[in-house]
Structure 1
Amino acid sequence: MTKQVAVVTDTNSGFSLEDERAGFYVLPMPFIIDENEYIEGITLDKELFYKFMEEGRKISTVQPPIAEILKLYNRILKEYDEILHIPMSSSLSDTYQTCVSVAHHIGEGKVFVADSKKISVPLKRNLQDVLKFVEEGLTAEEIKDIIEKDNDSMTAYVALDTLKYLKTGGRGSAALTAIGTLLKIKPVVFLGPGKVEPAKNLRTMNQAKDWIISKAAEILNDNPDEYYVDIAHTNSLDEAISLKEQIVEKLNWHDEILIEDLTLSIATHIGPGALAVAIAKKLKR
């Protein structure tokens, strides 16, 4: 008899609480803003988040409470045989390890936590693949193995409009931030499995977009059919639409391209105006 599998992720995937349905659950991520707790999708939406950011509020990300994770698991297991939980990348947050510990507490064979090493739209894309696998009758453990076999495939290049929030988030020195702002540098950051690192400094956002598209072309050169190519942004929809048009034209790309908001956890550290091209391999059985 086929086991009934429920899939759990969090709002770092780009899915929201409104996307929940039978067998699919989204854990909302908490934020601390000026020492007050806000919950994404409940007491904090995108508009309020960027309003706080514009006002210079102190924003930090935190993990969901263990008690909330355990409560969710126990509720789901009243209806389903297994849970497959796919949180954001273990290299970007301790949430993955926390979920593994909670799963161990519940007991063997009930909760499987997969490390996709992805976040935002690449994680969303893989979750769409995962939900198809569930419909096809695969077990949680089988799907976990598929995810972790190909969990080194995410590549995202993020062009920042400002260095201000790298400093605020503790990821850039004050001196470099001051110099970069003075020179109006548009840095590009590489976000991949297990790493976040500087990739290139350009003088304009148009130069940054051209460079990112050229890097995407290198990745897609051999087997373009194996990949998803999508765009993410922080409160910069018009620029994201323009970037999509350039990708379609310059890469002759005819597959679907999603345009998504970069998750608020990322936006906390990079600020508004950022643009990203995200590439991830399609999951295959």
Structure 2
Amino acid sequence: MEKIALVSDSTCDLSDEFIKAYDVKILNLKIIYKDKEYIDRVNITPQQVYDNLKIEVPHTSLPSLDDMHKLLYKLEEEGYTHVIAISISAGLSGTYNTLKLAASEHTNLNITVFDSKSLTLGCGAIVINCGKMIKSGKKYNEIVSALPLIRDNISVYYIVDTLEYLIKGGRIGKVSGTFGQLLNIKPIISINKEGVYYTYAKARGKKQAKNKLIEIIKEKLNIAKSKVWVMHGGAYEECKKFYASLKNIPNITYLGFGDISPVAGVHTGPGLIGVVIEKEQFI
């Protein structure tokens, strides 16, 4: 008899409601200041990170090997036979590779560590789909086989107020980033098939960038009905208006709203508006 555990990390940005509904075990990343270390989404909020960025830009750290081993031993004790762990993109964090290393030492469990090649609810949407399949009684091998197709149907796009924090974190080239800021160019950033950031489109100024983001959403919805999540990073009021502007667009089967984790906020800075689009499919 299979007993399947579902694991992800805190950058998946799932609400407590989804985490509880699908019994997702969360490995928390860490935010490290000079004088204190915080646990992502446990004892620090995204807003606290944004409020402090002008004073200090902290470092971020993936869950420790010890955290991973403790969780896997606990799952063994609780009688789980199989584990599906879905992580933030290996192209953006060392979490995936560290999880693979930890998993290799737990031979009593059948473990799949799956690279979402995404982040925030791009990863979270895969977790939700996986949770639904576990709950419906699908077998481990069937679920694992379905994950690549689910991943291929999910896309992430976002804009930021400033490129300053992406430049500092090495997520975008210093020369192109500085040039873009001088011209008030707002790139629409996405994630490619390798799971790393790239510039999907460009716009002059935030207003045009938001309009471009809506165009991208409509293009995707013209191809297939989709779920859409709107995410913000330190831009609640602005993002609520953006969210409201999507409500009457045809072919949206679900419209969600949330914020990105403090760990992601360190690298993007305040003012982020993003969307995750999941093309509908039947599993």
Same fold, judged at TM 0.5 (above): yes
Residues 282/26 of structure 1: CA separation in 2 closer, same or farther (3 Å cut):
farther
Residues 264/239 of structure 1: CA separation in 2 closer, same or farther (3 Å cut):
same
Q: Given that residues 233 and 260 in structure 1 are in contact (C-alpha distance below 8 angstroms), is that contact kept between their aligned partners in structure 2?
A: yes
Specify the alignment match of 1:167 in structure 2.
167
**2:103 corresponds to 1:128:** no
Residues 282/268 of structure 1: CA separation in 2 closer, same or farther (3 Å cut):
farther
Specify the alignment match of 1:209 in structure 2.
210
Whichever structure has more strand as a proportion of its residues is: 2
TM-score (norm 1): 0.88
Partner SS, residue 71 of structure 2? helix
Structure 1: state its 5+ residue gaps. Answer: none
**2:234 corresponds to 1:246:** no
Specify the alignment match of 1:237 in structure 2.
236
RMSD, matched Cα: 2.4
Q: Distance in 2 between matches of 1:152 and 1:7?
A: 20
**2:275 corresponds to 1:274:** no
- Residue identity over aligned pairs, in percent, reads 24
Q: Distance in 1 between matches of 2:125 and 2:173?
A: 34
Partner SS, residue 155 of structure 1? strand
Deviation at 1:52, TM superposition (A): 2.0
Q: Given that residues 76 and 109 in structure 2 are in contact (C-alpha distance below 8 angstroms), is that contact kept between their aligned partners in structure 1?
A: no
Residues 281/116 of structure 1: CA separation in 2 closer, same or farther (3 Å cut):
farther
Residues 84/177 of structure 1: CA separation in 2 closer, same or farther (3 Å cut):
closer
Specify the alignment match of 1:155 in structure 2.
155
Specify the alignment match of 1:29 in structure 2.
29
Q: Distance in 1 between matches of 2:23 and 2:229?
A: 26
Specify the alignment match of 1:196 in structure 2.
197
Q: Given that residues 17 and 28 in structure 1 are in contact (C-alpha distance below 8 angstroms), is that contact kept between their aligned partners in structure 2?
A: no
Q: Distance in 2 between matches of 1:147 and 1:69?
A: 22
Residues 42/244 of structure 1: CA separation in 2 closer, same or farther (3 Å cut):
closer
Structure 2: state its 5+ residue gaps. Answer: none
Which string of whole-angstrom CA distances, capped at 9 and with x for unpartnered residues, describes residues 46-103 of structure 1?
Answer: 2321222132x13222221111101111001111222221111222222112112211
Deviation at 1:3, TM superposition (A): 1.5
Deviation at 1:231, TM superposition (A): 0.8
**Which shifted more, 169-178 or 199-208?**
169-178
Partner SS, residue 138 of structure 1? coil
Q: Distance in 2 between matches of 1:72 and 1:253?
A: 40
Task: Give, as a single letter, the amino acid of the residue that structure 1 aligns with 2:128.
Answer: Q
Which one has more relative contact order, counting CA pairs under 8 Å at least 6 apart? 2
Q: Given that residues 40 and 263 in structure 2 are in contact (C-alpha distance below 8 angstroms), is that contact kept between their aligned partners in structure 1?
A: no
Task: Give, as a single letter, the amino acid of the residue that structure 2 aligns with 1:264.
Answer: P
Q: Given that residues 146 and 284 in structure 1 are in contact (C-alpha distance below 8 angstroms), is that contact kept between their aligned partners in structure 2?
A: no
Residues 102/254 of structure 1: CA separation in 2 closer, same or farther (3 Å cut):
closer
Q: Given that residues 10 and 261 in structure 2 are in contact (C-alpha distance below 8 angstroms), is that contact kept between their aligned partners in structure 1?
A: yes
Match runs of 1:133-148 below 5 Å: 133-148=133-148
Deviation at 1:45, TM superposition (A): 2.1
Q: Distance in 1 between matches of 2:44 and 2:156?
A: 26
Q: Given that residues 112 and 141 in structure 1 are in contact (C-alpha distance below 8 angstroms), is that contact kept between their aligned partners in structure 2?
A: no
Q: Given that residues 15 and 26 in structure 1 are in contact (C-alpha distance below 8 angstroms), is that contact kept between their aligned partners in structure 2?
A: no
Q: Distance in 2 between matches of 1:116 and 1:173?
A: 24
Specify the alignment match of 1:40 in structure 2.
40
TM-score (norm 2): 0.88
Which string of whole-angstrom CA distances, capped at 9 and with x for unpartnered residues, describes residues 191-241 of structure 1?
Answer: 2432311233322222111111112222221222xx321111111111112
Specify the alignment match of 1:265 in structure 2.
263
Residues 99/178 of structure 1: CA separation in 2 closer, same or farther (3 Å cut):
closer
**2:57 corresponds to 1:58:** yes
Q: Given that residues 45 and 262 in structure 2 are in contact (C-alpha distance below 8 angstroms), is that contact kept between their aligned partners in structure 1?
A: no
Deviation at 1:166, TM superposition (A): 1.8
Partner SS, residue 152 of structure 2? coil
Q: Given that residues 41 and 261 in structure 2 are in contact (C-alpha distance below 8 angstroms), is that contact kept between their aligned partners in structure 1?
A: no
